């Protein structure tokens, strides 16, 4: 998977019930980034993004503010091995 990167992201704050997942899916698809996003039981949102490093970074940067109704307190980012994920979905 040369030239690709994959990251695991955990976003905390008011990020559920504010269209965070839908908006993130739209942003990831615009950037042609694969992966997934889901709500966690602890109120956080968790995602993995895979694609060209610059595109993945743009999606991560979007996560730092999220959609208009969100309030992001923190974004944890961990680089993980690529798996060839080309489409983005909500789990």
- Whether this model's pTM surpasses 0.85: yes
Fold held by 5-83: Alpha-Beta Plaits (3.30.70)
User: Is residue 21 among the annotated active site residues?
Assistant: yes
In the predicted model, is pLDDT for residue 2 greater than 80?
no
User: Is residue 39 among the annotated active site residues?
Assistant: yes
- The residues, any chain, with a CB within 8 Å of residue 45's CB and separated by 6 or more, are 10, 11, 15, 16, 20, 21, 24, 37, 38, 39
Q: Which residue ranges make up each domain of the chain? A: 5-83
Catalytic residue of the set 21, 25, 27, 58: 21
Between 1 and 49, name the one with better pLDDT: 49
pLDDT per position as a tens digit, 19-76 = 999 999 999 999 999 999 999 999 999 999 999 999 999 999 999 999 999 999 999 9
Catalytic residue of the set 14, 29, 39, 89: 39
Helix, strand, coil share (%) of the chain residues, nearest 5: 25, 40, 35
**Residue from 72, 51, 49, 52 nearest 60 by CA:** 49
In the predicted model, is pLDDT for residue 1 greater than 60?
no
């Amino acid at each position: 998977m040369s030239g690709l990167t994959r990251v695991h992201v955990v976003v905390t704050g008011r990020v559920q019930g504010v269209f965070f997942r839908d908006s993130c899916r739209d942003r990831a698809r615009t950037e042609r980034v694969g992966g997934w996003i889901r709500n966690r039981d602890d109120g956080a949102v968790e995602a993995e993004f895979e694609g060209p490093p610059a595109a993945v970074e743009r999606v991560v940067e979007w996560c730092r503010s999220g959609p208009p109704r969100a309030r992001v307190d923190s974004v944890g980012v961990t680089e993980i091995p690529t798996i060839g994920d080309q489409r983005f979905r909500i789990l």
